[in-house]
Structure 1
Amino acid sequence: MYYLVYGLLYLFSLIPLWLLYGFSDAVAFFLYAVVRYRRNVVLANLEIAFPEKTAAERERIAKRFYRNFTDNFIETIKILSAGEAFLRKRLVIDNPQLLDHFYDQGRKLQAHLGHLFNWELGNATIPLLTRYPFLVAYMPVENKIFERLFLHLRSRMGSIPLPATKMQRAILPYRNSQYILGLVADQSPGGPENSYWLDFFGRPTPFVRGPERGARIGDIPVIFVRFYKHRRGYYGVQLITIAEHPGVLPEGELTRRYRNLLEDAIRQQPDGWLWSHKRWKYSWKPEFSPFWIDDKKDPPTGD
């Protein structure tokens, strides 16, 4: 069954991209206007993030988001047959010298990403643009066919996928070498009681602790990776240093800096973030107050 699915998707990936984008437009309209796939979630998230915008403005962002959302899948499938030249043309790092700076110092590196389009294209292309081995933490999927397919997609250009559920064991073979570890740090945590809590777009929000904890323990430099779209099918990557020596920072500071950079990136291109995931599915409770790390606001006093 895997080879049947792989073969069909590979043949689909051979279709010219301009034609695939026409298909993407049709699917985006179908998801938004017909089946209304997670439309309530998307619009509710946009209302939380942009209360100052009118309902019509938020709907325009939502429509553009759905096109970016379907483009993301189309471009990901295209990776199955894309060559190195195609990928290098489609995604360019603005300041690759930052990677050289840390590599020449002999240091490992953590790259904190968000669900900014197109992170899958970035996963495929970044190994071609750096001397570092590129390790990427990922969440395994239950369907074995798609698990195998995504592992192939994410590794065919040199990325090394590591299951986030077995991270400590998976990273052991690389512990004495230089690498970039890519972490999508805006995942919704598994539990709100084991998270950092801080303000995000005006709403108390839990953030996973793992990325900060690992960087501080190892004093591993951390960069923020901002994906942004130049035009359809063409992306830029801006690398921003979050901390060169996170080991000396107070607890929570790394996450606060990441939050600031992520929110700023989303505000710059509001249709380029994954609004369909339930980022605010956990509600604030007073018992979470010990986990509040925001230095600009006090924790809320009520539910």
Structure 2
Amino acid sequence: MYYLLYGFLYLASLIPLRILYALGDLLGWLIFDLAGYRRKVIDQNIYLAFPERTDEERKGIRKRFQRNFIDTFIETLKLISAGKSFITSRMQGEYDKFNTLYEKGLRCQVHMGHNFNWELGNLAYGYYCKHPLLGVYMPLKNKAMDRIFRELRSKTGTILLPATDMKNSMFPYRDTQYLLGLVADQVPSKVHQAYWLNFFGHPTPFIPGPEKGARAGNIPVAFVSISKIKRGYYYLHVEIAEENPSSLEEGELTRRYRNFLEETIKQHPDMWLWSHRRWKKSWKPEYTARWIDLVPAPSQAVDPYKETVHP
């Protein structure tokens, strides 16, 4: 199955990008307009984040998001056969900030969100930066697709660490100079152990591991976002959030990341993955000990999807 699927995808990736984009536009119409893929979830999420905007403005965000979603799929397909010149010409950015940390002899943690096109950003990193990149990923259930994505994501040197065995996977690199890439806007599975903050005004659980790891090892942390210059061309923005995270109080690094992520989404709302239910875990008063925001914790249960009615 692997060789058959890989062969098909490789041949498809050789099709000129302009033709793939045209096919992608048709695919987007079929998936989103005709089939209505996750329409309710997307509209709910955008409304929860931007209730002050008009229906037309929110519809515009959804339409642009849907195109970016399909473009990311098409561009990821193209990456199967793409070489260095294709990748570096389409993803540029502030990579020198990582190399400055490397020259100081420092490791680095990167915290970013589901910001298009993260697959292209991962591959471009290998051509620009000196740190070996350790990328945390969630293994796919389909073995053939999992192998294809592992090979694709590691083609420029990224060392993949399965999120299902993070502790053991990190062990061989614990004393090396690395850059650890973390998508930090995932919904935690253990909400009673999560950090809870307001995110776009709604109680939201954040994974505690990124902050705890950075503070325990005093590993500098960078926040990363990606903006779109034009179709197929991107720029990677890097903000060094803290070089000495062990000096911070618990929760401060996560608050800074929350603020960074919110501002990134406000600036480029169509570039974030609205099709996943970011507020699917409800706040309960018994989580108060895990509330790290600077405003008081809610005194009663909160489920934004139930309590906010989309007009």
TM over 0.5: yes
Q: Which runs of 4+ in 1 moved over 4 A?
A: none
Helix, strand or coil: the match of 1:67? helix
Helix, strand or coil: the match of 2:57? helix
2:203 paired residue number: 204
1:115 paired residue number: 114
Q: CA deviation at 1:142?
A: 1.2
1:77 paired residue number: 77
Residues 115, 272 of structure 2: 8 Å contact kept: yes
Mark the runs of 5 or more structure 2 residues left unpaired by the alignment.
302-311
1:91 paired residue number: 91
**Partner letter of residue 49 of structure 2?**
A
2:296 paired residue number: 298
Q: CA deviation at 1:97?
A: 2.5
2:278 paired residue number: 279
Q: CA deviation at 1:294?
A: 0.6
Residues 32, 63 of structure 1: 8 Å contact kept: no
Alignment partners' CA distance in 2, 1:86 and 1:160: 21
Q: CA deviation at 1:104?
A: 1.0
Q: CA deviation at 1:274?
A: 0.2
Could you give the per-residue CA deviations for residues 95-118 of structure 1, whole angstroms, max 9, x where no partner exists? 222112211111110011110000
Alignment partners' CA distance in 1, 2:111 and 2:7: 33
**Partner letter of residue 191 of structure 1?**
K
Helix, strand or coil: the match of 1:282? coil
Helix, strand or coil: the match of 1:287? helix
1:248 paired residue number: 247
**Partner letter of residue 279 of structure 2?**
W
| Further displaced range: 97-106 or 148-157 | 97-106
Helix, strand or coil: the match of 2:134? strand
Mark the runs of 5 or more structure 1 residues left unpaired by the alignment.
none
Residues 112, 184 of structure 1: 8 Å contact kept: yes
Residues 197, 294 of structure 1: 8 Å contact kept: yes
Alignment of 1:163-242 (within 5 A): 163-242=162-241
1:260 paired residue number: 259
1:9 paired residue number: 9
Q: CA deviation at 1:191?
A: 2.1
Helix, strand or coil: the match of 1:280? coil
1:269 paired residue number: 268
Could you give the per-residue CA deviations for residues 132-184 of structure 1, whole angstroms, max 9, x where no partner exists? 10110011111111111110110011111110111111111111211100000
**Partner letter of residue 128 of structure 2?**
L
**Partner letter of residue 129 of structure 1?**
Y
Identity %: 51
Residues 138, 164 of structure 1: 8 Å contact kept: yes
Helix, strand or coil: the match of 1:255? helix
Residues 135, 158 of structure 2: 8 Å contact kept: yes
Alignment partners' CA distance in 1, 2:285 and 2:239: 34
2:24 paired residue number: 24
Alignment partners' CA distance in 2, 1:51 and 1:213: 33
Helix, strand or coil: the match of 1:171? helix
Alignment partners' CA distance in 2, 1:104 and 1:66: 40
TM-score (structure 1 length as normaliser): 0.98
Count of aligned pairs: 301
2:135 paired residue number: 136
Residues 163, 170 of structure 1: 8 Å contact kept: yes
Residues 113, 224 of structure 1: 8 Å contact kept: yes
Q: CA deviation at 1:216?
A: 0.5
Could you give the per-residue CA deviations for residues 166-213 of structure 1, whole angstroms, max 9, x where no partner exists? 111111111121110000000111121110000001110000011111
Alignment partners' CA distance in 2, 1:113 and 1:172: 23
**Partner letter of residue 195 of structure 1?**
A
Residues 31, 66 of structure 1: 8 Å contact kept: no
Aligned-residue CA RMSD in angstroms?
0.8
Helix, strand or coil: the match of 2:282? coil
**Partner letter of residue 112 of structure 1?**
H
| Further displaced range: 167-176 or 37-46 | 167-176
Helix, strand or coil: the match of 2:71? helix
Helix, strand or coil: the match of 2:300? coil
2:307 paired residue number: none
Q: Does residue 53 of structure 2 align to residue 59 of structure 1?
A: no
Helix, strand or coil: the match of 2:92? strand
Alignment partners' CA distance in 2, 1:117 and 1:281: 22
**Partner letter of residue 65 of structure 1?**
F
Q: CA deviation at 1:88?
A: 0.4
Residues 96, 129 of structure 2: 8 Å contact kept: no
Residues 126, 156 of structure 2: 8 Å contact kept: yes
